[in-house]
Structure 1
Amino acid sequence: MIDLRSDTVTRPTPAMREAMARAEVGDDVWGDDPTVAAFEAAVAERAGMAAGLFVPSGTQGNLIALLCHCQRGEAFIAGQFSHIYRDEGGGAAALGSIQPQPIAHEADGTLALFAIEDAIGGEDIHHTRTRLLALENTYRGKVMPKAWQQDATTLARRHGLSTHLDGARLFNAAVASGRPLAALCQGFDSVSLCFSKGLGAPVGSVLVGDAAFIARARRWRKTLGGGMRQVGILAAGCHHALEHHVERLTEDHAHARQLAEGLADIDGVAVQACDTNMVFLAVPEADGRALEAHLASRGVLASVGATTRLVLHLDVGDADIPRILSAFRSFASRPRA
C-alpha cells in the first residue's frame, strides 16, 4: 500500500536499523547513555542552541516547553489550528492549568501581528497573564516567512513574552527555503524538532534551548513519565536520520509538486500545493467516503474529508506518483448513477 495519511507512517530503513542495533547504550535518566548525549549535542549545535533534550514525542516536547515557560493560571498564544493548541489533547490545560489563547490564521498561515498584540494579557487582575507566544513551522506544509518570523518574535520580546517554536517539520522548512536550521530557530527561546515524521525515525523528538531551560525541561520530562533508560537504541535511529535523511527531503517535496500538478488536471478536485511535502485537496463532501474506499482498493491509503491532506515521505518513490494519479483519475472517470 502507498500510505499518504501522514509522514509519521514511515518505517526505519535497513541502514537505520543497523545503526540502532549497534548503538552503545546506558541509563539516560542517570545521564549515562553516550548515544543520547551525542545526539542531543549534535541537534543543539545544528539548531544554534546551547543544549538539547531527547523526548519520546513532539507532543511531549511541546508540553514540556509550555510547562517551563508558563505557570498555573498563565496563558500562551497560538494559532487557532496549530498543532500545539488543537491536536495535543489539551495537555497544557489538563496537566499544567495553562490557558491557551488561540487566534485566527491568515491565508499564508501566519498570525496577524496586531492580533497577537491584542491577545496579550498583562497585569490587569481581570486578565490572564500571557507568558508565551507559540508558533509553528511548517504550518500545513507552508514555510514561515522570514520577515514575519522576525517581526513576531520581536513583538513577543517587546512585551516580555517567551517564544517557542513547534518545529515538527522544521527540517522540511530548512530544505525548502535553503536556510540553515539555526536561522529558522533564531528568535525562539525553545524549539521542538521531530525525527519520526519526514526524517523517518520510528520514535523521537528533541527539545532545544539554553542550558537553564533544558535543565528545567529535564525535570518536567521525568514528571511526565518521559525519563527513559537504554534509549540510545532509539536515539541512534534519529541520529542516522539527522546525518542521512535531511537533504533527501527534497525528493518528498518534488513528489508533492508532481502530485499536485497531476491532480490539478482532474475534474472535481481543487488542489492546494504547499512549499514542502504536502498536498491539500478539496473534494465534494458526497464523494469523500467513496473516494477513500476507491483509493484503498487500488493500493492507496488516504484520509479523505472536506479538506484532504496527502503527505509524501521516504516510503513513497518515483514510481508511486503515477499509481496515485491513476487511482484518482479512475475515480473521476467512473460511471455516475
Structure 2
Amino acid sequence: MYEKIIKADLGADVRIIDLRTDTLSRPTQEMKEAMYIADLGDDVYGEDPTVTELERRSAELLGKEDALFLVSGTMANLITIMVQCSHRGSEIISGDKGHTCCLEQGGPAQIAGVQSSPIKNEDDGTFSLDVLREAINVNPNVFEPKTSLIIVENTHNLCGGVVLPLDWLEKVGDIAAEHNIPVHMDGARLINAAVYLRVSPKRVARDVDTVFFSLSKGLGCPVGAVLAGSNDFITKARRVRKVLGGGWRQAGVLAAAGLVALDTMIDRTKIDHEHALKIAKAIHQMKSNIFKVDLAKVQTNIILMYIDRSKVDLKQLQRRLQTVLDGDSVRASVRCSSLKSNCVRFVLYYEITAEDVQLACDKIQLVIKEYDEIFSLKNVIPQFK
C-alpha cells in the first residue's frame, strides 16, 4: 500500500497536500450540522425520511424512476450485476480497464457467479462499438454464456478521469436495445462528467438503464453512493442490498450530508477541474523526457503523470514527493497514488485550496527537475532515502 511518513519527521513549516484520492475529503461544516439534526427512522422498514428524500432527489437528478442509498459504488455495481444477471450462465461486457473488471476483487465472479467478458478500453474510456457487437452472444447456444449486461464507466478512472462522449453513449444504448440488454453506468464521478460537459446529470445518464453516483468522492460526503433505475429494478436492488449486509437502520444521519452535497457541492467541482489542469500544466511546462502528462485528457479532477520506468522507480518517486529535505525550497509533502505501474495519480477535491495547488505545482516541478538533472549526468535510478 502507500508508504507512510510519520508526521514527526516533517517540520512544523511543512504543508501536507494529500492528493491520493478524493475520498479523503471530510464533510463540510454544513454537512456535519445537517447530520446532527437529521430526522431519522429505520430505513430497512422504509421509515427514514431523510434517506427517502435523498433517494427521491437523486432519482430526479438522474432522470430515473427510483433510487437506492448504498454504502459504496462497489456495492452499487455488484447489486446491479446480481439483479440484471440473476439467471445462471450470465456474463457482463465491460471495458478491460473498468472498475468492475480491475478494482472490485472480481466481485461479479466471486459473489454474483457471473462471468466477465472484458473488451479493450481506448484511451478515452470508450470501447469499439464493432467489438461490442461481436462480443454480444446473440441467441447463445448450449456452450455459450448469455450476455445479460453492458457496463460503462463515466468518468473513467484508469484512463485519467476522462469523460465519455454523449454520442458514443447513445450508440451503446442503441446496440444494447437491439438485443434487449440493459446498460449500467458506473458513474462514481458522474457529477464531474456533467460539469465538464456543461449538461445535467440526467443527460449524462439518459442512455443507460441503471446508474449510480458517489457521494463520498468529489461531493465531499463521509460515506455513500446512490443507485438509480426503474421502480422494478430498485425493488429488486433493495432486496439484494439486504442479503449483502447493506440494510441501513437510522441511515438518515449519513443521507443528510448527501442532501447538502446536492445543494452545495455540484457546481463547485469545476474548481477541482481547474486545479487539476493547473497542476497538469505545471508538469507539462517542465518539458521533461522522463515525466509526461496528456493535457487533453485532464478533463476533470484526475491527473495521470506518466514516467519513464527505465529511469524512475515508482515508489521512490512517491517517497520523494512526500519527503521534505532540509535543503528543499518548497516546504510541501505531496502524496499521490498509483493504480498502474507506469504513472502516478493526483486527485483534486474541495479541501485542496488554491494555495495547496500552487505548492503542489512547485514541489512536483522541484522533483522533476532533480530527476532531469541527475539523468543529464548519468543513467542511473537515484536513491532517495
Q: Could you tell me the TM-score, scaled by structure 2's length?
A: 0.85
Partner residue, 1:271:
293
Partner residue, 2:182:
162
From 88, 91, 100, the equivalent of 1:84 is 100
- State, as a whole percentage, how many aligned pairs show the same letter: 37
Partner residue, 2:137:
121
Summarize deviations over 1:54-109 as a string: whole Å, max 9, x none.
00000001110101100222001000010011111111111111111000012322
Whether the 8 Å CA contact 1:294–1:327 is kept in 2: the answer is: no
How many residue pairs end up in the alignment?
A: 337
Whether the 8 Å CA contact 2:282–2:365 is kept in 1: the answer is: no
Alignment of 1:1-337 (within 5 A): 1-70=16-85, 71-122=87-138, 123-139=140-156, 140-266=160-286, 267=288, 268-273=290-295, 274-285=298-309, 286-297=312-323, 298-304=332-338, 305-334=341-370, 336=374
Secondary structure, counterpart of 2:272 in structure 1: helix
Whether the 8 Å CA contact 1:72–1:96 is kept in 2: the answer is: no
Q: Which deviates more from structure 2 when the two are superposed, residues 240-249 or residues 135-144?
A: 135-144
Letter in 2 for 1:174: A
Letter in 2 for 1:130: T
Distance 1:320 1:8 in 2: 17
Secondary structure, counterpart of 1:252 in structure 2: helix
Summarize deviations over 1:234-279 as a string: whole Å, max 9, x none.
0001111111000000000000111111110222320123211111
Secondary structure, counterpart of 1:319 in structure 2: helix
Letter in 2 for 1:299: S
Distance 2:257 2:152 in 1: 27
State the 1:287 CA deviation: 3.9
Secondary structure, counterpart of 1:96 in structure 2: coil
Distance 1:34 1:209 in 2: 20
State the 1:22 CA deviation: 1.1
Distance 1:276 1:78 in 2: 22
Q: Over the residues paired in the alignment, what is the CA RMSD in angstroms? A: 1.2
Q: Which deviates more from structure 2 when the two are superposed, residues 133-142 or residues 324-333?
A: 324-333
The list of structure 1 runs, each at least 4 consecutive aligned residues, that deviate by more than 6 angstroms after superposition, is none
State the 1:284 CA deviation: 2.6
Unaligned runs of 5+ in 2: 1-15, 324-331, 375-381
Distance 2:263 2:369 in 1: 44
Q: Could you tell me the TM-score, scaled by structure 1's length?
A: 0.97
Secondary structure, counterpart of 1:41 in structure 2: helix
Letter in 1 for 2:149: L
Secondary structure, counterpart of 1:44 in structure 2: helix
Unaligned runs of 5+ in 1: none
Whether the 8 Å CA contact 2:84–2:149 is kept in 1: the answer is: yes
Whether the 8 Å CA contact 1:76–1:133 is kept in 2: the answer is: yes
Distance 1:198 1:293 in 2: 26
Secondary structure, counterpart of 1:192 in structure 2: strand
Secondary structure, counterpart of 1:197 in structure 2: coil
Summarize deviations over 1:151-178 as a string: whole Å, max 9, x none.
0110011012111111100000000001
Letter in 2 for 1:48: G
Whether the 8 Å CA contact 2:125–2:153 is kept in 1: the answer is: no
Distance 1:308 1:275 in 2: 17
State the 1:303 CA deviation: 2.0
Distance 1:107 1:283 in 2: 17
Distance 1:208 1:51 in 2: 6
Whether the 8 Å CA contact 1:198–1:313 is kept in 2: the answer is: yes
